Structure 1
Amino acid sequence: MTRDYSTFLPQKTTPAGAEIRRSIITSLGWRPFFSQQVSADELIDTPPVRIVEVHRKALHVVGDGIDTSIRPLPNVTVGDWIMLNQDDTLLSRALDRFSLMKRRAPGSNLQIQLIASNIDTAFIVSSCNPDFNVARLERYISLAMEADTAPVIVLTKTDLAADPEDYIAQARAISDAVPVVALDARGGAPREQLAQWCKPGQTVAFFGTSGVGKSTLTNALAGSDAIETQEIREDDARGRHTTTRRQLYIVPNGCMVLDTPGMRELQLMDSASGIDDLFADLHALSAQCKFNDCKHTVEPGCAVRAAIESGEVDEARYTRWLKLKSEDAENTVTMAMRKAKDKVLGKNIRKIQKKNKKSN
């Protein structure tokens, strides 16, 4: 069957009152940003598909009339678009992303873990219970801001909290630029209160620790109970891992929803801009310090310390800011050194291989 790819290309004009055919590709998040990277011939020869799930030995991709698994490709993640070479899938081309969320991989290995790409809105979910943690929320928000993904804090289990307003106030104090939505994840509340972000063609993602209600929220948006959920442990308010991998779902209104496993460890790297955007007031104050390399601890003429002493800045927030900046700087430098070392090693290996080839 010959597919009509004309709707995938940028449209110059649309006649008044004309109906635009909504294809599966549009629902998957295809937009001019991607169509501008391909030619009409390429669209026909290698149809666009989106990675909706990443397995250890396969990628699950979906497109117009395509729903299949292919062999893994390097440096791709869930949410990526690729131009699928159906003759040899390893020759498929990954398109540039408009957003990418990543972190330093857990453990002692110096690796970068790609979390998700091409996400419009990151719903950062936390429960109104003892597991609520402002510092953790700030980490997720910094990660989203660095990725040019709009963060929204979603507070769940409000019906179980004795005083949900206290949690809401703490969340709103994090940043004026980050909306806060408090709801019961069950029933129709998520579809109603998250509707402004969950529009056709948009891709949203739920992030947070296990047990905060990410899968329940995804089920609510989808209008089904397809995703398994579990209750939290009563002794420490912590959740059990239900979702084991990141997966994109198409919900009935044409929005893509990413459900993610809980991340116990979230170390930032290459996130300096995101941290500066979240702590915009402290970043602005740091520019007024006497010394350009001020560490904002004991240096004379430090505008940040002066603001703390005058009561203008909360010291606990300042401490969290310093911790994130230090962690991000250390991980970024360490990863850069690792890349440089690998580059030198690779160069030496190629020299040896070339020398052996000549001698043979």
Structure 2
Amino acid sequence: MNQATNQSTLQSLGWNEHFANLFAPYAEEGFSVGRISLEHKRIYRLMSEHGELLGEVTGKLRYEATGREDYPAVGDWVVIKARPEEKKASIHALLPRKSKFSRKVAGETVEEQIVAANVDTVFLVTALNNDFNIRRMERYLILAWESGANPVIVLSKADLCDDLEKCMAEVETVAIGVPVHVVSAEQGEGLEQLAPYLGSGQTVALMGSSGVGKSTLINKLSGADRQKVSGVRDGDDRGRHTTTHRELFQLPGGALMIDTPGMRELQLWEADEGFRGAFDDVEKLAEDCRFSDCQHGREPGCAVREAIADGTLEQARFDSYLKLQRELAHLARKEDARLAAAEKDKWKKMTMQHRSKKPKR
């Protein structure tokens, strides 16, 4: 495969000048690159100029990792030594991520789980049925804004909606400045609206709860039954998990798509910028408060309370703002403690490594 073909192959996988510049020092040392398409128990499937390879991280990379975020995630570009004849590769390093969609791992552990990396656009898919939840959408928007990718809201199952106008009005109160598209993948309606985001080499990640129709949407966009589709539970319209892992694959038109398992419990991860982006309306109101440290309680001249009183701002929206603000503050305190412990462990490793290199007398 000649160099021009190599570049063409990589560009079809989302490679661009930004990543090429980051990779330049490695290229001089004879390394090549691949993009992670699937991960299972630290075994990675990756796409490269050599075709599809199975990769494992080197001992050095494993030793230097301080947490899950230092290991490859789906969508990552990784520096590899390829063994094409074996269809295998050794992963030596990760290229810095252009964007990453992260959440806190489930449970009490304070650790980042990277759901998708190097994404251009995030489709936040919400079903227009009984499981429609505007507060959950706020959470997704926070993490989407924080990711560095562009959020787009896809309202699916439009054929099941009794009052589309009401739902759209609710979405517009939280999705300020975010494109919103209404589709019915089952009926094949509205899918043409998504075409501008699906150009060749563009990476789109699908996020949403179980049962919102992500698998049906993927099947329609790919023109094949790529993903198994299951119905929703009787009574509450909540979905059953269909997708069980994250995977990157290519659509016929050349776009790359990352499908993710449904995430009903979406715990926030570091999201200062994302929080401000998702609650831009409340933040701008707060700037007009008489006091810069206004708590929006009983202080005189509180613009936020005035907006609630005159109906400009919904009380439920403000309550959600306060709740998510508290959640992020609590997470930040726990994360500070985790980082201190990780730093201590890092210095301990370095000290032990230094001692082992000392000549014995």
Fold conserved between structures, TM > 0.5: yes
The Cα of 1:301 is off from its aligned counterpart by: 4.0
Could you tell which deviates more after superposition, 280-289 or 108-117?
280-289
Q: How many aligned residue pairs are there? A: 345
- Whether the 8 Å contact between 2:53 and 2:89 is mirrored in structure 1 is no
| Change beyond 3 A, Cα 1:163–1:307 | closer
The Cα of 1:6 is off from its aligned counterpart by: 8.1
Q: Could you say which residue in structure 1 is the equivalent of 2:229?
A: 229
Could you tell which deviates more after superposition, 279-288 or 204-213?
279-288
Q: Could you say which residue in structure 1 is the equivalent of 2:48?
A: 63
Structure 2: distance between partners of 1:287 and 1:337: 31
DSSP-derived class of the 2:252 partner = coil
Give the structure-1-normalised TM-score: 0.87
Q: Could you say which residue in structure 1 is the equivalent of 2:78?
A: 82
Could you tell which deviates more after superposition, 40-49 or 215-224?
40-49
Structure 1: distance between partners of 2:310 and 2:323: 22
DSSP-derived class of the 1:84 partner = strand
Structure 2: distance between partners of 1:143 and 1:4: 38
Q: Where in structure 2 are there 5+ consecutive unaligned residues? A: 62-69
Mapping of 1:32-181 within 5 angstroms?
32-39=17-24, 42=27, 45-72=30-57, 74-86=70-82, 89-90=89-90, 92-181=92-181
The Cα of 1:62 is off from its aligned counterpart by: 0.3
DSSP-derived class of the 2:154 partner = strand
Q: Where in structure 1 are there 5+ consecutive unaligned residues? A: 9-22
Identical-residue share of aligned pairs (%):
37
Could you tell which deviates more after superposition, 40-49 or 323-332?
40-49
| Change beyond 3 A, Cα 1:289–1:186 | same
DSSP-derived class of the 1:170 partner = helix
| Change beyond 3 A, Cα 1:288–1:169 | closer
- Whether the 8 Å contact between 1:43 and 1:83 is mirrored in structure 2 is no
Structure 1: distance between partners of 2:156 and 2:91: 44
- Whether the 8 Å contact between 2:78 and 2:91 is mirrored in structure 1 is no
The Cα of 1:43 is off from its aligned counterpart by: 7.4
Larger helix proportion of the pair = 2
The answer on 1:266 being equivalent to 2:266 is yes
- Whether the 8 Å contact between 2:6 and 2:49 is mirrored in structure 1 is no
- Whether the 8 Å contact between 1:187 and 1:220 is mirrored in structure 2 is no
Q: How far does the alpha carbon of each residue in 1:53-89 deviate from its partner, in whole angstroms, 9 at most, with x for none?
A: 1111301100123202111464321100012122695
The answer on 1:194 being equivalent to 2:179 is no
Could you tell which deviates more after superposition, 341-350 or 71-80?
341-350
Could you tell which deviates more after superposition, 195-204 or 24-33?
24-33
Q: Could you say which residue in structure 2 is the equivalent of 1:4?
A: 3
Q: How far does the alpha carbon of each residue in 1:240-287 deviate from its partner, in whole angstroms, 9 at most, with x for none?
A: 111001101101110001111001211212212111112212112222
